[in-house]
Amino acid sequence: MKTLSLPEVEYLSFRLAKEFLEFDEPIPDFSTRFPNVLESCLAVPFQKFAKKDAYPGLIKKASILFYLMIKNHPFQNLPAPQAGGYCIYALKCSDNSIYIGQTENLEKRLIEHRKGLNQWTKGRLPVRLVHLESYNTRQRALEREKKLKTGFGRKWLKRRIEKGATRQAGGNKRIATTTLFIFLYKNKKWLKVDDQEMYNFAVWVAQSPPGLKQEVVLGVEKFLKKYLATPS
């Protein structure tokens, strides 16, 4: 069975996502991928235990690949902030601590964090964006930031993150979809499914609770079996 390489994800999956899919969420630059996360997403479907495939067969491999490409957030996919708006954001650091901040230029601020220019997070890299809120005025953003930084606010945010219920940026749904299609095509299969249904399904996976991983992956398997086809 044929695998996927990083160059294929970069030059095929990204290009297809940018040109043909319209899921109303921006595509991040390939350079924003988190260290080793994408590599893990591509490798897990081919893992072996006791010399046996952990995910035997094309359907199981494709299902766990699609799930991980969405849920593990290998790319820093960001929604377009409101014009003239202010963002409250939360970063999960390498030591599992949570950094909360506010800015009117989220993309610039995240670049600063990744480069180690923030005094608090530079010793806790890499960081991952796990929560995002937008406000029309700086005053409202500051008030919300202050609430989230209280003991109660941090407990609330931690519970939301653990449940997978935070307002997360993107979800890598478009890239996950094109990566799935490329993987299937390399193995002489395809999906004959309506664009809107495919998108709705990707949203369902993205919003699923982390604790239901096994059930959701089984749901992906059923979805793929329903629409799997052989290219003509």
Which among 38, 20, 10, 62 has a CA at the least distance from the CA of 186? 62
pLDDT in tens, 185-198: 999 999 999 887 99
For the chain, the domains span 6-76+171-229, 86-163
Which among 121, 33, 113 has a CA at the least distance from the CA of 69? 33
User: What residues contact residue 48 under an 8 Å CB cut-off, 6+ apart?
Assistant: 54
Strands 86-92 and 98-103: antiparallel
Q: How far apart are CA 141 and CA 12, in angstroms?
A: 39
pTM: 0.65
Q: How far is CA 127 from the centre of its chain?
A: 14
pLDDT in tens, 99-137: 999 998 887 888 899 889 999 999 998 888 888 887 888
Q: What is the CATH number of domain 86-163?
A: 3.40.1440.10
